[in-house]
Amino acid sequence: EIVMTQSPATLSVSPGERATLSCRASQSVSSNLAWYQQKPGQAPRLLIYDASTRAPGIPARFSGSGSGTEFTLTISSLQSEDFAVYYCQQYNDWPPITFGQGTRLEIK
Amino acid sequence: EVQLVESGGGLVQPGGSLRLSCSVSGFIFNSYGMNWVRQAPGKGLEWVSFISFSGRSMYYADSVKGRFTISRDNAKNSLYLQMHSLRAEDTAVYYCTRDPDGYNFDWGQGTLVTVSS
């Protein structure tokens, strides 16, 4: 089973600043990596798939990069609605599909 | 508009059974694989099960293998999860998701399953 590790667990950033979230896989997942955003009381929402492709309707301030075992989600200029929990998920070697434990992005 | 609507959650005693349903609209259901993903209270996301577009292939997390069964009825645009021998650790919100290629493109709002005496 591929283990996904996200860092940091909590990230404090001011509105308007850049946020950089990391996700590491225990073995290569190629570019088969997705990112999700989850706000309190809501279902997760797909942001990025194939490591760098934005899902329909996702603002351009969200970008994904990386391949192999190291991945990054960057939010270029944080808006108030971006403060949420973010999860990465690999789908290169499954079952099982595996998620990271999440990064909570909070207002500084 | 794509919609996935889960139902069937509730309170059940340990060892009991429950059947979740997911009614789908807004896309060609029989063209997509589907997942169940769950989230225990205050915890992260856990994949539970996958079924292929045809229903011929099913996969399960080790934590539910032998207790849960995923199925689908393409004529009814519906996905199901039959859960037996429920444990306290199965308590979670269960989401159904559309899976175009291994990731979860669309999500339902979830249904809460509580296993408690």
pLDDT tens by residue, A12-46 = 999 999 999 999 999 999 999 999 999 999 999 99
Amino acid letter, residue A47 = L
B42: left (phi over 0), alpha (psi -120 to 50) or beta: left
Q: Quick one: closest CA in A to B107, which residue?
A: A43
Q: Per the CB < 8 Å rule, is B103 touching A91? A: yes
Angle A16-A35-B64 (CA atoms, 0-180°, nearest 5)? 140
Chain B residues in contact with A43 by the CB 8 A cut-off are: 95, 107-110
Q: Per the CB < 8 Å rule, is B101 touching A101? A: no
* Edge-to-edge strand ranges of the sheet holding A19-25: A4-7, A19-25, A70-75, A62-67
Question: What is the pLDDT, as a whole number, of residue B73?
Answer: 98
Q: Per the CB < 8 Å rule, is B102 touching A94? A: yes
Question: What is the pLDDT, as a whole number, of residue B96?
Answer: 98
B32 touches chain A (CB under 8 A): no
Residue of A6, A48, A97 to mutate when probing chain B, most B C-beta within 10 A: A97
pLDDT tens by residue, B3-50 = 999 999 999 999 999 999 999 999 999 999 999 999 999 999 999 999
Beta strand extents in chain A (DSSP E only)? 4-7, 10-13, 19-25, 33-38, 45-49, 53-54, 62-67, 70-75, 85-90, 98-99, 103-107
